[in-house]
Amino acid sequence: MDVAESSARLEEAHSGTWWFAHWPSPSIAAGLTDRSCEPAQLLAAVRNPVAASAEQVHGGSVAVVGSRRGRSPIPGADALVTNVPGVALLIRTADCLPVFFADPARGAIGLAHAGWRGLAAGLPARVVAAMRRTYRTPPGELAVAIGPAIRACCYEVGLEFEARFGPFVQMRGGRRTYDLIGAAVEQLRRCGVRPERIVDSQVCTACGVQRWFSLRREGPSTGRLTSMIVVRP
């Protein structure tokens, strides 16, 4: 998978908060919690943020957050975009992809919760289209980061995935596995995001349950990681 070998890898700050260091600009903060910390600790790193979260229905809907006031979580949305400084976009995951989008030149950001259903619905491409339409962000100038998620090493799927996701479904030691990250990166590339501007955390949630929550490894009662992106006020 051809993505950036970047200094923007995840770095732990303190008390279980992790940040994409130096990505993509000092004006934007993007990070997440591990299983040892609460979302409030993530929000505390940004001065007086207003939190906007997505309902997360495993679909392809993108909501534009246009003010510092509004209903949260936003019904029916799996991705959010905004250009309002101080509005922190939030999603929760436990194997699905947290995908961060940033256009520092225009002060626009996005955040998506993408599992296999979201990828089938074209959610990453829909976020790119929403940012182009709403903020005039050229796809080639967009920066994208992918947070901790279940990787092909651990994501075993059924035969029906082969027809839907083709080359991203492979046999590994007698197990049929699906590469969520590869599918997301290919979708982003097809809609004009430059490969060198896509950063992958390279963290598998199912491999690292000591630090990350994994629904596949631990079951539906497990907790959730909180991801956040915000234009600093």
Element (H, E) at 178: strand 175-178
The pTM assigned to this predicted structure is 0.94
Taking the C-alpha atoms of residue 17 and residue 134, their distance in angstroms, rounded to an integer, is: 31
- DSSP H helices, the chain, are 39-43, 116-120, 123-135, 160-165, 180-190, 215-218
Task: Write a three-state SS string for 32-96.
Answer: EECCCCCHHHHHCCCCCCEEEEECCCCCCCEEEECCCCCCCCECCCCEEEECCCCEEEEEEECCC
pLDDT of residue 3: 55
Residues 227 and 90 sit within 8 Å (Cβ to Cβ): yes
Residue 136 CA: distances (Å) to CA of 4, 22, 216: 24, 24, 38
Please write the tens of the pLDDT for every residue from 41-96: 999 988 878 999 999 999 999 999 987 666 679 999 999 999 999 999 999 999 99
Average of per-residue pLDDT values in the chain? 93
Please write the tens of the pLDDT for every residue from 88-136: 999 999 999 999 999 999 999 999 999 999 999 999 999 999 999 999 9
pLDDT of residue 224: 97
pLDDT of residue 166: 92
Sign of the four-CA dihedral 17, 22, 26, 31? negative
Residue 36 CA: distances (Å) to CA of 9, 14, 19, 201, 202: 20, 11, 15, 19, 20
Which burial class, exposed, middle or buried, applies to 34 when counting CB atoms under 10 A from its CB (0-12, 13-18, 19+)?
buried
Please write the tens of the pLDDT for every residue from 2-42: 555 444 578 988 789 999 988 999 999 999 999 999 999 99
Look up tokens 């599992």; give the residue: 115
